[in-house]
């Protein structure tokens, strides 16, 4: 059966990069849920919710390797080596990530290390945070009348900068979703306006998308940084920019419980 973890005697040492989705455990794929419940070891991130971790086998070995803004429990290179070491011990390993492993999840970096050491692996896609955010806020990321192009970008590059192709990101007729962009929102908004995106372009920041604590702040490219600062929203959050954001007030269906206490 695809996705079933064989016993250690028949197929030891496989690493499964599993997408845990945007937060709501109901958005896990069936394959992800099955693998989480069968693995010998779970190596998990900060954005994996408690309900999803509750699916783990009771005797499974747990390794937390979460990353928060400017604070990592383990450097990425150490995480890569940990996966190799665990697999070399003959264990079935689930590397559990929020969202999708290949969309700003560093999955590519991790499997490069696995390949270099001859470790067998499989990748299980998950609902990426942007897709979950759009669905749970009533912001359709594409729309024939407003956005014929969808771009995912990261607001935090490996070297700590946000040196992006601003001219391409500021083109009309598209939706821009920025991961890890809240900390640099003022700079991002300023760069986009400087490169031609109108200051009154609808924009939003969404915190804890798909969870009961989801918060959404909407405004325009010029007003959003101040609105977010007033709201107190902190990462994890997504920035979404484009005319589709104007549909949020009419299409939103999800009623969260409110901000975290």
Query: Which residues are identified as catalytic?
Result: 45, 67
What residues contact residue 244 under an 8 Å CB cut-off, 6+ apart? 139, 140, 141, 142, 143, 146, 147, 175, 202
Rounded-to-integer distance, Cα 65 and Cα 260, Å: 23
242: left (phi over 0), alpha (psi -120 to 50) or beta: left
The DSSP bridge pattern shows strands 121-124 and 149-154 to be: unpaired
CA torsion through residues 24, 25, 31, 37, sign:
positive
Closest CA to 246 of 221, 222, 219: 219
């Amino acid at each position: 059966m695809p996705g079933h973890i064989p016993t250690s005697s028949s197929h030891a040492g496989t690493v499964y990069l599993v997408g845990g989705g945007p937060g709501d455990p109901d958005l896990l794929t069936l394959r992800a849920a099955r693998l989480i419940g069968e693995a010998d070891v779970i190596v998990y991130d900060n954005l994996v919710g408690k309900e999803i971790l509750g699916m783990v086998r009771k005797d499974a070995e747990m390794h937390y390797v979460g990353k928060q803004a400017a604070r990592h429990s383990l450097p990425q290179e150490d995480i890569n080596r940990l996966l190799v070491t665990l697999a070399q011990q003959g264990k079935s390993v689930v590397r559990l990530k929020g969202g999708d492993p290949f969309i700003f999840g560093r999955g590519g970096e991790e499997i490069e290390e696995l390949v270099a050491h001859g470790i067998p692996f499989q990748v299980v896609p998950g609902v990426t945070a942007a897709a979950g955010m759009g669905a749970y806020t009533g912001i359709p990321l594409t729309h024939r009348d407003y956005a014929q192009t969808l771009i995912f970008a990261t607001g935090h590059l490996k070297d700590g900068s946000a040196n992006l192709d601003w001219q391409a990101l500021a083109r009309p007729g598209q939706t821009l979703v920025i991961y890890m962009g809240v900390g640099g929102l003022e700079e991002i908004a300023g760069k986009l306006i400087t490169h031609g995106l109108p200051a009154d372009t609808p924009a939003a920041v969404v915190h804890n998308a798909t969870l009961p604590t989801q918060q959404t702040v909407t405004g325009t490219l010029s007003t959003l940084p101040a609105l977010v600062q007033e709201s107190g929203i902190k990462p994890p959050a997504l920035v979404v920019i484009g005319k589709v954001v104007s549909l949020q007030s009419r299409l939103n269906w999800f009623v969260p419980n409110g901000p975290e206490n």
